[in-house]
Amino acid sequence: MNLLDIELIKLKNTFALWLTFVGALFLPLLLFTTYLFESQEFLPAPRINPWYDYLLRTFNGCCFFSLGFILLIIGLILNIEHKANSWKQLFTLPVRRGRLYRAKTTLIFSVITVFFLLYFVFAITSGQLLGLIKPSLGFRQYRVPYDYIFRFLLDLFVSIIPMIIIQYWISFRMRNLITSLGMGLFGLLMGLLLKNWDHIIYLPYATPFQMLNYKETDVLNRQHFYLVNAGYSLLFIVLSYKDFTKRFQG
C-alpha cells in the first residue's frame, strides 16, 4: 500500500479532516451572508466587473483567516501520531524514516491544496448564487476572472511554503498541540506587526501578508520573491528532513 494511502486512513474521523471542509467554507459563507443582507453596499458601478471587488475581499480573508486554519490543520495532522504515541512504533517498521517524512509532507501539502481549492470553489459558488438571488450585484453579467484567482493562488502558495515547512517541523517536534499552534500564531502576529518593514520578505510567517490587497497588476518583485521563498523552502526542508531522519526519537 502506498504510504500516502496509509496517511489518508489515519485522517479518517479526525477533526483535521472536518476543519479542511469547515475552515474552507467559513469565509465564503461570511461573505455570502454579508453580500446578501447588505447588498446595497456592494452594488457595482456601471460597466465594472463586481468579481474583482468580491475576489479582493476573498483574497484578503484568505490572507488573514486561512493561515490560522492551516496552522491548526498541520498541528492536528501531527497530533494524530503524538496522541497515539506511535512514532516509536513507526520507527520500528521496515520503512525508511525519509519515506515517512515525505509521506507526511505530501499529506500536509495535499490537505492544504484541497483547503484552498474548496475555499475558492465555495467562494465562486457563493458569488454565482448571489448573482441568482440578487441580480443587481451583477455577478451573472460578468465572467469570473480565473487567471486573477490562479495568479493569487500561485503567489499565496509560494509565500506560505516556508511557513508550512517550519510549522510541520515545529509540530512533529512539539508533542503539545497548543505549544506548536501558539508558536505559529506568534509568528503570524509578528508578521502582521512588521508588515510594513522593508525587509519583511525575509520573515517567512510575514510573507503571506504581502498578498493583502492583491492587485492583478501587483508590483511585487516577483523574481526576488520566488527566489527568497524557494531558498527558504529548500533550507527548511533540508534541515527538518535531517532532524526527522537523524535526531528525532519520537
Partner 1 sequence: MQNSDKLIIETNHLSFGFSKDKIVLQDINLQIPRGSIYGFLGPNGAGKTTTIRLLLNLLKPDHGSITVLGESVRNASVNLFSRIGALIETPSLYEHLTGFDNLQVTAGIRNIPKSRVLEVLEILQLSRDADKHVKNYSLGMKQRIGLALALLSSPDLLILDEPTNGLDPNGIIEIRELLLHLNRDRGVTILVSSHLLSEIEKLVTHIGILDQGKMVFQGSLKHLQAIRQEQSVIEISTDRNNVAMEVLLNNKLVAKIGKEFLEVQYLDQFQVSAIIGLLTKAGVAIYRMQLIESSLEQTFLSFINKN
Residues that bind partner 1 (CB under 8 A): 1, 3, 5-6, 9-10, 12-14, 80, 83-96, 249-250
d(CA 35, CA 199): 37
CB nearer to partner 1: pick between 84 and 230: 84
Helices (H), the chain: 3-11, 15-37, 50-61, 67-84, 87-91, 97-133, 146-173, 177-193, 222-242
CB nearer to partner 1: pick between 88 and 143: 88
Helix, strand, coil fractions of the chain, as percent rounded to 5:
80, 0, 20
CB 95 → partner 1: shortest distance, Å? 5
CB nearer to partner 1: pick between 85 and 176: 85
C-alpha distances in Å from residue 89, one per residue of 13, 96, 171, 173, 216? 21, 13, 18, 16, 49
CB 118 → partner 1: shortest distance, Å? 22
CB 16 → partner 1: shortest distance, Å? 10
CB nearer to partner 1: pick between 12 and 199: 12
CB 167 → partner 1: shortest distance, Å? 22
CB nearer to partner 1: pick between 7 and 155: 7
CB 182 → partner 1: shortest distance, Å? 24
Read out DSSP for 112-132?
HHHHHHHHHHHHHHHHHHHHH
